[in-house]
Structure 1
Amino acid sequence: MSGIRVVEVASWTYVPVAGAVLAEWGADVIKIEHPEMGDPQRGLAAMGLIPTGPGGVSHMVELPNRGKRSVGLDLKTEEGRALLLKMCENADVFLTNFRPAARAKLGIDVEHIRAVNPNIIYVRGSGHGQRGPESERGGYDGCTFWGRGGAADIVSDPEADYPVNQPGPAFGDVIGGLTIAGGISAALFHREKTGEPVIVDNSLLATAMWATGATSLAAGLFGFDRMPRGDRKQMPNPIVGMYRTSDRRFLSLVMLESDRYWGDLVTRMGHPELENDPRFVDAAARAANCEECITLLDQYFGEKTFAEWKEILAEAKGVWAPVQSPAELLEDPQAIANGYIREIEANSGTVFRIIASPLQFDETPPDLTRAPEHGEHTDEVLLELGYDMDQIMEMKIKGAIL
């Protein structure tokens, strides 16, 4: 995306992640922040509500903002808004998560931005969509994506006191941000082919519904309120499921074509006699005797450690995976070989590891750069727009810029 310019008026994580992905793909992404407060995400780190790592690295600032330039503008001032519109004149994309009333009040809605650049692609990320009774409601992935979108209910035991929380910060945000980046790419392609700019919309609610869509489809077809849960020992295919090792770690098996993989698996496990055991000789027999089969597999998997099973199953023909921790994932040889984990040098000189977005072009992992400091590129961008230092200093004195 070299040569593509994105003006981002967004905060927190979900929509800014889209800007980070576009920056990773080569776009020039200019993040607009309030000159005094900045993105509220920075404030959480500054107040100690989000911990910082060595060298002052804030993971929740780096995640959605790596690779961008930051400009401090007060959009409530005449000068600040004029500067934003000036930036948009030659931009390709305007990206925001401001709600409808705020956009209208600040004069940054579609008609305002298109008035200075009719060809700009206007992109909105929201909690609940741009229409309907809740279009003005904010949203976070922990509630709108995970809770309202159905995921919490699907993964939680209905007998538990509380549903399960989402698996870590920004889980829904990064999925939504990547979706927006894909939508922007499609919009740029459409404009290239037709000359027509489009408005792109995404919401956390829509993204969650897409992620849980298979379950919702089944619920509508079969008339159930909640996905049925069964006893794991009643699984008709015993080599699809989780198995616990002697050191209380887990292996995930998904060997769907069980007749193809059964013999190889049990032979590697050290029990070749099970391959032709009449109780387990084919898929039908294993389904009929699933409880007995799973009980035996539980016993055998429980006799060796996680590390031992990883070595034993390394060349297994069927699909399986170790259940890893985030720390282990950072050392995963396969992830490292593919360049999924990249290093960034912070402004302090600290080098830290970060996960790249999951697309590569021309088999080349991206080179990532750190998130900008608050307003770090204000002067640089304004000079590019043709302002001189006297004009810039005057706007700083007025508080319109940082």
Structure 2
Amino acid sequence: MKVSIERSALLKAMSQAQSVVERRNTIPILANVLIEAEGNDISFRATDLDIEVVDKVSGMVERAGATTVGAHTLHEIVRKLPDGAMVELSDDGTSGRLDVIAGRSNFSLATLPREDFPVMATSEYACNFAAPAAVLRRLFDKSKFAISTEETRYYLNGVYMHASDGDNGKVLRCVATDGHRLARIDAPLPDGAADLPGVIVPRKTVGEMRKLLEDDDMEIAVSVSETKIRFATPEITLTSKVIDGSFPDYTRVIPQGNTRRMEVDAAEFAQAVDRVSTVSSERSRAVKLTMEEDRLVLSVNAPDSGAAEEEVVVAYGDERLEIGFNAKYLLEIAGQVDRENAVFMFNSSGDPTLMREGNDESAVYVVMPMRV
């Protein structure tokens, strides 16, 4: 194999590949990226056996072929090369070495046989549809903060994507929860997605897939089966196993009868929570909200470190209410609000609280209170 690639194109492909590859591997071949050159295309394939990413790059192919080389090492080399450099990759197929040449720099890297590289088995995808990158980015960005990190409840370690009934017809819905907070985000259902089987997209896949969604004008092809999900652009294909488990019935957690309504400037609210929580003990980080006629008082009382209080102007017309929350959860939920105002719906100090972005029903958040 002998190919030449522009440094920026190679760096982009290697960045995507090395982030999939785990730093510590008991299986040596999984630390490598598979480079395949044919025609005018050079593809870079990386896997951790749960996720596989293939990135196609245009370049000059002098001699077709394939080899595997350490993903992190090659990424570091390319990252340190000067901008605009042409990088030549070549191996003779017998020496077990890949030569990397750019200008006056010359590297010789150990390779492993391409036959040893595991390629993820192709799946029969039951559902295929296309969605704009901006739509998918909103669905996953707004829900991923609520993914659980508790390994024992593995079925909560991802975003549950499915077709559902919304207020105005069928929707493509993403839900994530860790038992303390929940995010439910809706988007119009794309053509072909009506038969979408509900799948739990793992946390790592959400992070990797997010890199494909930078270009708002791009359509992303999504293919889903019972065991796998695939996101594809013309250059990059990301295939991942889905979490094998049943997502709990989240509809039972979303309160329907909360009538006490508070509307507040989202940015002002987040800043006030951040300020008062400075004195709270790290373990609990509890913030008390006291609401009465058009005013909200945020307070923290940490006996070992001090106390803080701040008043915020809000729209609130119900009877006085005191309720406590974990400051981190409040900040994360307030950080999702794209509009100016956040609307909180309360029932009592012991019941889950619902939050929306203004009058937008397509994004709903639930947070459990704390005793303060």
Compare the two structures and name the one with the higher strand fraction. Answer: 2
Q: TM-score, normalised by structure 1?
A: 0.26
Using structure 2 for the length normalisation, give the TM-score. 0.27
